Amino acid sequence: MAKATTNIPEGVELRISSSPHVRSGQSTSKAMWTVAAAIAPTAALGVYFFGVYQLAVIATCVAFALLAEATAKAMRKQKPTLLDGSAALTGLLLALVLPPNVSLVFAALGSVFGIVVGKEIFGGLGYNIFNPALVGRAFLQAAFPSAMTTWTMPDLTPDAMTSATPLALSKFGDQAAKAGIDFGAMFFGNIGGCIGETSALAIIVGGVALVALGVVNWRIPVSIILGVVVFGGLFNLIDPATYPNPIFHLLGGGLLFGAFFMASDWVTSPLTASALWIYGLAIALLVVVIRLFGGLPEGVMYAILIMNAVAPMLNRFTRPKLFGEAKKA
C-alpha cells in the first residue's frame, strides 16, 4: 500500500490491496441489526401481552448494556464499539428472557453483568465464550431466584395474576392443571412466561427470516428442535403419564427463543457442520433432561451455557476432511 503509483491518468487515485477485491457487503453491525429487527415482532408481542411496562424493561436493559460497554472500552482505552450493535442486541435479548414486570434495578444489573463479565472480561466481542445475555440472566437467577420465577399471566387473560408457567405447572402441578394446558395459546403467546418467550409464532417468523438471510446457521435451530422432539418423544413414549408430549417441550418456556436467537449466537456456537449438529442435539438432550429430572422447571439457559463452554472443543474434534482427502471407512 505504500508503493507509489505510476503511469496513472491525472485526477485518478488508485489503491492497492490484496485479493479478493469485492465483498459481499456483510458486516458485523449489519448482522447485529438484522437480528434485532428479526426479534422486534417477538418483543412487540411481549409488550402487547404483558403491558407497556415491558418497554421500560427493554429500554433499561439496552441502555445499561450500552453504558457498560462504553465504560469498559473507555477504561481499557479501546475504540468505542457501540455502533456495532452487539451490546444493544445483548440488552434486548436479556430483556426478553426476563419475567414480565421485573424490577428495573434487576434488569440493569443483569445487563451490566452480562456485558462486563460475559463479554468484556474475555476481551470483547469475538473473544467471549458464553452468550453475554445468558450470563446476565444466569447471574440474576442465582442472585435473586424468587424474583426471577414470579410469573404474571398476560393482561389479556381475565384474571391477570401471579401464576405458574405451563412448564412449572407440568412439573410441579397436578394432573388437572396439566390437562388444562392450551397449546393454541402457547403458540400465539397468550400464556405466562418470559417477556419474549410467549409467542412461538413470532419467534418462528423472525427465526426463519434469519435462517433465510444466512445470519443464523440453519443447523442450530433444526438440530435443537429435532432433538427436543426426538428425546422428548422418547420419554413420552416410555411413560406418557409422567412425561409430557414433545410438542409441549417445543412450545414451552424458552426453547424456541433459545434455539433461534440464543444458541445461534455466532461467537459462542461452533464452526463446523458436524460440530453444529452435535451442539444442537446436545442442547436438546440437556433441555429435556433438566426439565424432566432437574430441580428447575426450565433448562434452556443452562443447556446453552454448558454447550457454549464445549463449543471450542467440538471445533477441534470435528475438523472436516479436506477436499479429496481419503475418507475413513
Contact residues toward other proteins (CB under 8 A) are 3-9, 11-31, 84, 124-127, 214, 217, 266-273, 276, 315, 319-326
Say how many CA atoms lie within 13 Å of 269 toward its Cβ. 30
Q: 34 and 46 in contact (C-beta within 8 Å)? A: no
Q: Say which residue the cell 471407512 belongs to.
A: 329
Nearer to other proteins, 92 or 109 (CB): 92
Of 191 and 307, which CB lies nearer to other proteins in the complex structure? 307
Question: CB-wise, 248 or 261, nearer to other proteins?
Answer: 261
Nearer to other proteins, 39 or 107 (CB): 39
What is the closest distance, in whole angstroms, from the C-beta atom of residue 308 to other proteins in the complex? 11
Q: Where are the alpha helices (DSSP H) in 97-188?
A: 104-118, 132-143, 166-172, 175-179, 183-188
Query: For residues 300 and 289, what is the distance between their CA atoms, to the nearest angstrom?
Result: 10
How would you write 177-208 as a 3-class SS string? HHHCCCHHHHHHCCCCCCCCCCCHHHHHHHHH
CB of 328 to other proteins, least distance (A): 14
Q: In angstroms, what is the minimal distance from the CB of 310 to other proteins?
A: 14
Mention every residue, 6+ apart, whose C-beta is less than 8 A from residue 95: 43, 54, 57, 58, 60, 61, 62, 107, 195, 196
From the number of C-beta atoms within 10 Å of its C-beta (0-12, 13-18, 19+), residue 33 rates as middle
- To other proteins, the closest distance from the beta carbon of 300 in angstroms equals 21
Rank residues 107 and 275 by Cβ distance to other proteins and give the closer one.
275
* 12 vs 75 by CB, closer to other proteins: 12
Closest approach, Cβ 47 to other proteins, in A, equals: 29
Minimum distance from residue 316 beta carbon to other proteins (Å)? 10
For residues 10 and 7, give the distance between their C-alpha atoms in angstroms, rounded to a whole number: 9
d(CA 198, CA 192): 7
**In a 10 Å sphere around its CB, with 0-12 CB exposed, 13-18 middle and 19+ buried, how is residue 208 labelled?**
middle
Question: 24 or 146, CB closer to other proteins?
Answer: 24
| Shortest Å distance, C-beta 324 to other proteins | 4
